[in-house]
Structure 1
């Protein structure tokens, strides 16, 4: 993603909103429309941001709120992670992250990843999410693979075959360490 220069024509009314979004992004956080409306109750947040024409501000529609970030200091990929975390749906978070990893890189995803930042899910949340995933037909493409050391990985069968998922799991978990 190419970073743009800040727009030189930000209206005085929109400036505090733009600055708040940019500051949050610099700190690694998204800003919700609800938060901005509480912080700036006299402003029509959505309209001012939309009409500002500031190119670095990006919007993501969530299930219960709208999220904003600035791509001057936050990548879209990281913003997507933060969006998924903020939506508080561990099943969707895990499934979409696994699908992205399988499609983009292509590689399986260590389940342990979801216990680490930026996800920071508890072991219980991860286990419960994995259990619920097996009950959902729309997630039947999410498959499990175990390395010879017992580490659990997930991959999407939409993008990786079982043989690829298993081989890559073993390679990333064991092979890389044994073949420096």
Structure 2
């Protein structure tokens, strides 16, 4: 493959990653290879098909606005952080594992902000879990030693908030949840 052919393929890969990110999707090797074929940039009968891994490495090196990470399934996924943030990419990646999705989001929020999360948040986009999935995940987390740091507190109005005991102490998490739930007017 010539340098010019390599440059054309890298540009097509970059465009495909940008387009997928713009549509709120992560993209892997198989989808990118299909995209190159759809753009007639690969001939199915080519004996010397391009090394996709090398092309993707070159694409990432020449397009600083793109990123890759290893998904929970072990696949390398690509996205454009300017169109699809790293946080959102992580959420999309973990959607196939509701337990991990909830646990990691709770941990991240407890550590970074720090704040507990209302349980009902996981029914909304981008999580889109139904109440049965949430209930099953909470039961699994309660029985899993790896997820034992995920805990909950209930506010005076009955709202349930999740937090990570690795990052928030229970009294502080309860205070933050109460304040978030009832606001300053009811909690001076």
Q: TM-score, normalised by structure 2?
A: 0.82
> What runs of 5+ residues in structure 2 fail to find an aligned partner?
1-5, 43-49
In 1, the alpha carbon distance for the partners of 2:109 and 2:85 equals 16
Higher share of residues assigned helix? 2
In 2, the alpha carbon distance for the partners of 1:176 and 1:64 equals 45
Q: Which residue of 1 aligns with 2:7?
A: 11
Q: How does 1:101-116 map to 2 (within 5 A)?
A: 101-116=109-124
| Aligned-pair CA distance for 1:177 | 6.3
Query: 1:55 and 2:51 equivalent?
Result: no
Query: 1:80 and 2:90 equivalent?
Result: yes
Secondary structure of the 2:79 match is strand
Q: Which residue of 1 aligns with 2:137?
A: 129
Q: TM-score, normalised by structure 1?
A: 0.86
| Aligned-pair CA distance for 1:75 | 2.1
> Does the 8 A contact of 2:151 with 2:163 survive in 1?
yes
Q: Which has the larger radius of gyration?
A: 2
User: Which segments of structure 1 move beyond 6 Å, counting only runs of 4 or more?
Assistant: none
Equivalent of residue 22 in structure 1, options 18, 36, 39 = 18
In 1, the alpha carbon distance for the partners of 2:113 and 2:171 equals 16
Secondary structure of the 2:9 match is coil
Q: Which residue of 1 aligns with 2:128?
A: 120
In 1, the alpha carbon distance for the partners of 2:115 and 2:35 equals 42
* Superimposed CA distance per residue, residues 105-151 of structure 1 (whole angstroms, 9 cap, x where no aligned partner): 00001111111000101111111011100010111111111111111
Query: 1:170 and 2:178 equivalent?
Result: yes
Q: Which residue of 2 aligns with 1:46?
A: 53
Structure 1, 41-50 or 112-121: larger mean CA deviation: 41-50
> What runs of 5+ residues in structure 1 fail to find an aligned partner?
1-9
> Does the 8 A contact of 2:29 with 2:77 survive in 1?
yes
